[in-house]
Homo-oligomer: A and B are copies of this chain.
Amino acid sequence: MDDLVVRSADVFKEKQGIDLQTGHQVLRIDRENMTLSGEAFRVAYDKLLIATGASAVKPELPGFDLPGVLTLKSLSDGRRIKDFIRARKVSKAVIIGMGYIALEMGEALLARDIQVEMVKPRPTLLPWMNPELAAVIRDELEKHGVGLHPGNSIQRIEGRKGRLQVICDNQVLEAQMVLVAAGVKPNSDLAARAGLELGPAGSIAVDDSLQTSDKNIYAAGDCADAYHVVTGGKTWIPLALRANRAGWAVADNVVGREVRLPGVAGTAVFKVLDLQVARTGLSIAEAERFGFRPAEAVIKSRSRAHAHPGNSAIWVQMVGDIPTGRLLGAQLVGREGAAHRVNAVAVALHRQMTVEAFSQCDLAYAPPFGPVWDPLLTAANQLLKKL
């Protein structure tokens, strides 16, 4: 686990000469006097960076504070989960939620021979995903013995004799451990109390130079919002690359080397058992919400050339805007070749490319890596017929 620590506190303190004061909770930002304060300390700033991250959401329901009801956000959460599994010899777990973290946790638990049930209130597995692609993921989970219970509101968790019962509207799920992976929320309370402008989902609003509504205060990481390169509007998609990039950009801007970040395309990828799942840009529903008139194409192609050994299926959904012909997004699912393929679409989104222009791109072909017409091109060609 120590390998996962990218940089320890010592490095900041000793090698980088940063006055790192851990164990100090900032309770107040005094913007007028440009100071921070907490219990028994006060610090002045010229420029301030808020990088408070996000927290796992834990529903305010009875029993979510029972031992064995755990969340995963930090490394110490991970250690706590591992310790609990070992100490209690966990053989069955319930996961509340079905997002990236829930699915990745599910896989990790299966790898330890722990039986997994997943439950959530909303009726669909991955609501942003095209149903045909989502069904592939559902089948993969079920093939590995994961019990999926969407459309189940959770009322409470009860503990009896070392077992936990997740009491839902329609059923009771029993386990030794419950993982709550019901999403994250930005840690923006401090910023909100200081009167800084907030963005989507209560994240801290920043411009393309990561400045908040106070020009001496920057925000970066999972606590801050971003521009979406497809919609031009604000979005909150807390992922590692944006967080990292924003941190570097703030450092540059604070020292006067002006950097502006165009924003995010909503690119994300994750692994579910033997499947790669990737998306970028807008889903059909998101496109409609942002005023586009979207059409989509869904194709099933192959990961390798016709008759090539090791071939497997790959699904691509692609979304375009009918009036303008613009490419708006794509989703991919497959055993191989889905994760990195999505990047070609992400680049196209950054350049507001049309589906037609994308369909003419010179993508790589060799029999071990795809058909002559890359699945992305096949999807674009099919989508063109609907635009």
Contact = CB atoms under 8 A, between A and B. Distances in A.
Nearest to A337: B340
A369 B340 contact: yes
Contacts of A349: 362
Contacts of A271: 366, 368-369
Interface in A228-250: 229, 239-242, 244-245
A116 to B, nearest CB: 19
A239 B280 contact: no
Contacts of A4: 306-307
A107 to B, nearest CB: 10
Contacts of A360: 245, 261-262, 350
Contact of A339 (B3, B262, B369): B369
A219 interface: no
A62 to B, nearest CB: 34
A160 to B, nearest CB: 37
Contacts of A261: 360
Interface stretch (A143-151, A165-173, A181-189, A351-359): A351-359
Contact of A365 (B241, B263, B370): B241
Copies in the complex: 2
A346 interface: yes
B240 A362 contact: no
A31 interface: no
A265 interface: yes
Given A347-B353, A357-B350, A363 B241 contact: yes
A306 B3 contact: yes
B270 A366 contact: yes
A386 to B, nearest CB: 17
Contacts of A376: 343
Interface centre among A268, A372, A373 (most CB of B within 10 A): A372
A364 interface: yes
Question: Nearest 10 CB-CB pairs, A to B?
Answer: A340-B340, A269-B364, A343-B344, A3-B307, A265-B362, A339-B369, A347-B347, A351-B351, A267-B362, A269-B366
14 contacts: A3-B307, A241-B363, A241-B374, A245-B360, A261-B360, A276-B369, A280-B362, A339-B366, A340-B340, A341-B343, A342-B364, A347-B351, A350-B360, A351-B353
